[in-house]
A = this chain, B = another copy of it.
Amino acid sequence: MNRTRPTMLDVAKESGTSLKTVSRVVNGESGVKPELVVKVERAVKKLNYRHNLTAGSLRRLGGRTKTIGLLLENVSNPFSAALHRSVEDTARARGVEVLTGSLDEDSNRERELINGFIARRVDGLIVVPSSEDHKYLVGERKAGTQFVFIDRPALNFTSDTVTATNSEGVEEAVKTLISLGHVRIAYLGDFEQIYTAKERYEGYRKALRGAKIAFDKEVVKLGFENEAAVESHLIALLSRENRPTAIFTGQNIITLMAIRVLRSKNLHHKIALIGFDDLPLADLLDPAISLVTQDIHVMGNIATQLLFDRLDGLKSPYEKRVVPTTFAQRASGLIRP
């Protein structure tokens, strides 16, 4: 516990060289006589020396720690977890480690975590934002910390951003429902404050407008406090006389709930359903569930690469990268009115 780790000076003494030579060897710098390299390496092994990167970053020009931060909605949801993996893979190739945290749609938590990560001097941050104002980051960027936003753009803060074609993806899917003859198409999504929720909802409205279907607010609901609220809303919706013949769900938890409720009412073969975001096993359900999905791997990869480009000094205008969604049409989306 209290024994302190050996330092470069200890290694220098053990190997009969100097501090600086040890530093050169440990950092793989060229221009050290091979026999000294061997001596140093022997001493490193003997003393079980471990380089202290954090001490080095203190003096190093630019102060880089080779650590980045990743802020997700919730590390345990499948979308966040997949994003995490793709960021990790891209970072790994560069010897960069990643600090992670869950924001739970809480703007205070966003600020706390960003502060916590900056206190640990991450080189940059990849953020799925949970707040509605990011101008507090201006000072951080000036101080050298880079930011890339993913899934949702920053607000009041121009920055590199990677998003999906939320609106277009939904529009395409809803259009297929319309082409099957559906007119009363319900839409259940997240609160409009959430960028992706707003975009997806916009796609739904565009599809209706394109087909000249009158908008019916009775079958639209945005924002649910919890899963139970989704459930009771669906039950009410399906109990109406003039119930919808198709449902579009703008998020995976809502989709899940819709599957459950349709089933419990034995309507799963009668009412069409298309959801946004992937759902494991969706193709094995009866009926198989139609989904609009995002290419998470590509999104994470682009975001991480963009962050590294900025850290490497890229000075071009901030980029808005948009990654196409995929429409997996399956039986639940092919049910006719």
Contact = CB atoms under 8 A, between A and B. Distances in A.
A65 B143 CA distance: 22
A61 to B, nearest CB: 9
A117 B99 CA distance: 11
B100 A84 contact: yes
Interface stretch (A33-41, A118-126, A147-155, A156-164): A118-126
A88 interface: yes
Contacts of A74: 85
Contacts of A119: 50-53
28 contacts: A1-B313, A2-B62, A3-B142, A4-B143, A5-B143, A50-B119, A52-B119, A52-B121, A53-B121, A54-B54, A54-B58, A58-B58, A75-B81, A75-B85, A81-B84, A85-B102, A88-B100, A95-B116, A97-B99, A98-B101, A100-B100, A256-B281, A259-B284, A279-B281, A280-B280, A281-B281, A285-B285, A286-B286
Interface residues of A, number: 61
B99 A99 contact: yes
Specify how many copies of this chain sit in the oligomer: 2
Nearest to A76: B85
A67 B75 CA distance: 17
A1 B147 CA distance: 12
Contacts of A75: 75, 81, 84-85, 88
Nearest to A1: B144
Given A1-B313, A4-B144, A88-B101, 13 more contacts: A1-B144, A2-B144, A48-B143, A50-B115, A67-B99, A78-B81, A84-B100, A97-B120, A98-B100, A279-B281, A281-B285, A284-B285, A285-B285
Nearest to A61: B2
Interface in A101-150: 101-102, 115-121, 139-140, 142-144
A153 to B, nearest CB: 22
Contacts of A259: 281, 284
A239 interface: no
A46 to B, nearest CB: 11
Contacts of A101: 88, 92, 97-98
A263 interface: yes
Contacts of A3: 142-144
Contacts of A285: 281, 284-285
User: Which 5 pairs show the lowest CB-CB distances between chains A and B?
Assistant: A76-B85, A81-B81, A54-B54, A48-B139, A76-B81
A50 B99 contact: no
Given A82-B76, A84-B100, A54 B121 contact: yes
